[in-house]
Amino acid sequence: MKKTVSLLGSTGSIGRQSLEVIEALGLQVSALTANRSVELLEAQCRKFSPRLAVCMDAGAAKTLAIKLADTGVKVASGMEGLVEAAALEDTDIVLTAVMGMVGLRPTLAALERGRRVALANKETLVCAGELVMDAARRFGGEIIPVDSEHSALFQCLEGNRDRGEVKRLILTASGGPFFGRSRKELETVKLQDALKHPNWAMGAKITVDSATMMNKGLEVIEAMRLYAMPLEKISVVIHRESIIHSLVEYCDNAILAQLGAPDMRLPIQYALTYPQRLPGPSKELDLLSCPSLTFAPPDLEAFPCLSLAMEAARVGGTQTAILNGANEEAVSLFLSGKIPFLGVFSQVLKSLKQVSVVQSPSLEDILEADQAARRAARELYKAPAIPRHRPKNRLKSAQKLDKIRKNQSKNGINRPKSAKIGPNQP
């Protein structure tokens, strides 16, 4: 029987590649969603004929409805529309490729209907991993990871029946565009440099997360949730070539690794076809032309976001939601040129200190923690910095005034009694 897919986030990088896989496999599409990319979503709807199309932006949804008026495609908007797309009848797989916390509610809606969720939205598990995994267990849903690293771990664990046999999970990281640079050197890097990933073509937000290594920290938390593993059994290694996507080390010291070309279409396809393997559009890995495979430890001094995420995992509760929400806001500020690259770390760190943590949180607690973290990050950006020294122009004014006073004193001239130096004057 042909599988039907509801694709959330069809206009992004993962969404577009997912449609390539869906087309190659001959799967049906029941729903497509986007934020506000009306023209691309319209083209996708005309090609794949879904029953439902959703724009998160209400204005974009109205425009899309007019453009699709000659088709049978229903158009919806906002979070209600996104949840409707995830809960559509006769849908076999919900592929969540939306960015950020917006993916949480639709993921829960799909799992509560016993669906397979092909998960490309790591924030869902980072912020609400316990709730999401519990929903999968209670309602008979399943989660198959789409992230290349987690797909690799998933495949390396397929033959494992006893998690006690697992010594550790090893997540590989490319190191991003700034691998090998010191913290001092990172003070002057530019946005365009942060967006030049050496191996992967991804969206701007995840590319910046890769540059700060926050992305790998989020993946560590995700691995804890997905595979019920303690933080102590998860490690990160820099692997610049992005050929080995992750490894599992067992108690007998055997290590299983999943290799492949750096092509997201392979993990996307496996999440859709599991447990089957089928020919698909992903690139073939030619071992004879592979570069040498190298490994190195992460530099936590230069890239402290990784250790920040690990510490949030240790704290638990809503701390991971606070981490994620603050990071999303900080990256947005960096992408808009409002803070420097290293400002991402400092904004997240300060936000973590400002927002209280709730242990054993409800969904409402998690959503509130996310919003509180975002507010904190925004307010920290708006808050004026208190200078340690006088600004340069004010210092010059003060020096000039001192010179005038000395001349006046020298010439026997005193300040008039009515003249006062106010708090806003030099």
pLDDT tens, position by position, 19-77: 999 999 999 999 999 999 999 999 999 999 999 999 999 999 999 999 999 999 999 99
pLDDT at 58: 96
Q: How many CA atoms lie within 13 A of 171 on its CB side?
A: 27
Residue closest to 215 by CA, chosen among 223, 224, 206:
206
Residues in the chain: 426
Residue 352: Cβ-neighbour burial (10 angstroms; 0-12, 13-18, 19+): buried
Domains, the chain, in order of start with CATH, read 1-145 (3.40.50.720), 147-315 (no CATH), 318-382 (1.10.1740.10)
Is residue 250 a contact partner of residue 168, using CB atoms and an 8 Å limit? no
The amino acid sitting at 411 is: N
223: Cβ contacts below 8 Å, ≥ 6 apart: 150, 153, 169, 171, 229, 234
Is residue 92 a contact partner of residue 3, using CB atoms and an 8 Å limit? yes
Q: How confident is the model at residue 275 (pLDDT cuts 50, 70, 90)?
A: very high
Residue closest to 124 by CA, chosen among 154, 91, 92, 82:
82
Residue 324: Cβ-neighbour burial (10 angstroms; 0-12, 13-18, 19+): buried
Is residue 171 a contact partner of residue 236, using CB atoms and an 8 Å limit? yes
Own/partner pairs, 78-84, CB within 8 angstroms, 24+ separation: 79/105, 81/33, 81/52, 81/54, 81/55, 81/56, 82/8, 82/33, 82/54, 82/56, 82/106, 83/109, 84/31, 84/52, 84/54
Q: How confident is the model at residue 202 (pLDDT cuts 50, 70, 90)?
A: confident
173: Cβ contacts below 8 Å, ≥ 6 apart: 210, 213, 216, 236, 237, 238, 239, 298
More confident residue, 43 or 383: 43
Q: What is the DSSP letter of 283?
A: P
Q: How confident is the model at residue 383 (pLDDT cuts 50, 70, 90)?
A: low
DSSP assignment of 131-165: HHHHHHHHHT-EEEE-SHHHHHHHHHTTT---GGG
pLDDT one-digit tens code per residue, 385-408: 444 343 444 344 444 445 544 454
Residue closest to 120 by CA, chosen among 8, 275, 224, 227:
8
- Specify the residue for token string 């890097």: 189
More confident residue, 141 or 384: 141
What's the CA gap between 13 and 263, in Å, rounded?
12
383: Cβ contacts below 8 Å, ≥ 6 apart: none
What's the CA gap between 213 and 426, in Å, rounded?
45
Helix, strand and coil in the chain, % to nearest 5: 50, 15, 35
- Specify the residue for token string 């365009």: 192
Is residue 329 a contact partner of residue 347, using CB atoms and an 8 Å limit? yes
Q: How many CA atoms lie within 13 A of 69 on its CB side?
A: 4
Is residue 229 a contact partner of residue 169, using CB atoms and an 8 Å limit? yes
More confident residue, 191 or 421: 191
What's the CA gap between 93 and 90, in Å, rounded?
9
pLDDT one-digit tens code per residue, 116-165: 999 999 999 999 999 999 999 999 999 999 999 999 999 999 988 899 99
370: Cβ contacts below 8 Å, ≥ 6 apart: 101, 127, 321, 322, 324, 325
Over residues 330-348, the mean pLDDT reads 95
